[in-house]
Amino acid sequence: MIHPDTRKYNAAQSPRERAICRLLAQTIDRGLPEADNKIWHAHPVWFLDGNPIVGYSKLKDCVRLLFWSGQSFKTKGLAKEGSFKAAEARYRAADQVEVGSLRRWLAESREVQWDYKNIVRRKGRLVRIR
């Protein structure tokens, strides 16, 4: 279920970005109904068993969709982000969101997970949990 704070985050965006955020939130929520959604580090994020899976954030000129384990997905279309296993897609309009690809990434995110929730305890070392 989309958390009220996520709805508030989406409503605070410009009309163009609001449309992107709403589409992402609805598609993620349908694709990962068992996930917990909350605002984490000021952005909407969905978690499975306490592990961050997917989220999005407003950047200067776009909305960034981020999958924490996305570099390990077989489905193409995400760009490497950062020094761990995250990958992203960036959108400037809602019609740029390929919902079919997003659904495939969401399905993969359930099966391919790196253990981010214990990264501090492991002193920065990631371990694949699925």
**Domain enclosing residue 45, as ranges:** 4-111
Beta-carbon contacts of residue 120 (< 8 Å; ≥ 6 apart): none
Residue 72 is predicted with a pLDDT of 94
Inside any domain, residue 98: yes
DSSP state at residue 62: S
Question: What integer is the mean pLDDT of 41-51?
Answer: 95
Considering the domain boundaries, does residue 119 fall inside one? no
Tally the domains of the chain.
Answer: 1
Asked whether residue 129 is assigned to any structural domain, the reply reads no
User: Domain containing 54 — which CATH number?
Assistant: 3.90.1150.200
Would you state the pLDDT for residue 83?
78
| 130 belongs to a structural domain | no
117 pLDDT more than 90: no
* Segment 49-64 mean pLDDT: 96
pLDDT at 121: 73
Which amino acid is it at 73? F
Does 130 have pLDDT greater than 70? no
Nearest CA-CA partner of 57 in 67, 69, 47: 67
- Give a yes or no: residue 48 inside a domain: yes
- In angstroms, rounded to a whole number, what is the distance separating the alpha carbons of residues 65 and 22? 12
Q: How high does pLDDT run on average in the chain?
A: 92
Contact indicator for 113, 53 with CB cutoff of 8 Å: yes
Q: How far apart are CA 78 and CA 26, in angstroms?
A: 19
Radius of gyration of the chain (CA): 14
pLDDT higher than threshold 90 for residue 116:
no
Domain presence at residue 67: yes
Taking 90 as the threshold, does the pLDDT of residue 123 lie above it? no
Give the model's pLDDT for residue 113.
80
13 located within any domain: yes
Band (61; pLDDT cuts 50, 70, 90): very high
- The answer as to whether 70 is a domain residue is yes
Whole-prediction pTM value?
A: 0.90
**Residue 118: pLDDT above 80?**
no
